[in-house]
Amino acid sequence: MPIIPDMDSESELNLFDPKNPDINLFNIVDDELIRLSGSKLEFYKIYVDKTDIDEVYQEVRQKIISRQPITVFGHYEPSVLQENLTEFGIEVTNDQVFVFNKSYIQQKVGRRPQEGDVIKPHFQDQKYEIYQVQEDSFEAYGVYHLSCYARLLRDTEEVIDEYLPEVMDDIGGIRFK
């Protein structure tokens, strides 16, 4: 009998069982830790019209942002605005990484966060636009965190489109009046 079992067959001792009931427990604990150590954030969903894409830049021409924010909890580390002098003038930078529990944010928003969504911390008067979303995974127990990389929105009084109707339904990221 070999000391190391064949990797193709099931073994009696399986530490990385995907059907393990503790996986849901770890997910709940992770969500609670983010709520306790995190902050309140206002999350504005973007509505994308797939037919209105610029042929040259391959991006949506008009980005429509929801009027009503969704209050969520997430973790980030606030930093001071940096004003760097470059060859093109003063450049204001303040990129942030917002960390959410994957199950929680998908349940609250109704979908996964995507590029173009806007996040506003509850106690700051700064708005950030998400430009990248990554999953933080743990090999043993799956994916719990979504890291949203966001850049500071500048030169905007409001990020909300004033021409949107007050009542709007959201089905699969498509805007219906």
What pLDDT digit, counting tens, does each position of 151-166 carry? 988 765 554 544 444 5
What's the pLDDT at 29?
Answer: 83
What pTM did the predictor assign? 0.70
Other Cβ atoms less than 10 A from the Cβ of 136: the count is 11
Across 35-40, average pLDDT = 89
Q: How confident is the model at residue 5 (pLDDT cuts 50, 70, 90)?
A: low
Task: Flag whether pLDDT at 150 surpasses 90.
Answer: yes
Most confident range, picked from 17-26, 39-48, 52-61, 148-157: 39-48
Task: Flag whether pLDDT at 61 surpasses 90.
Answer: no
Kind of pairing, strands 64-65 and 70-74?
Answer: unpaired
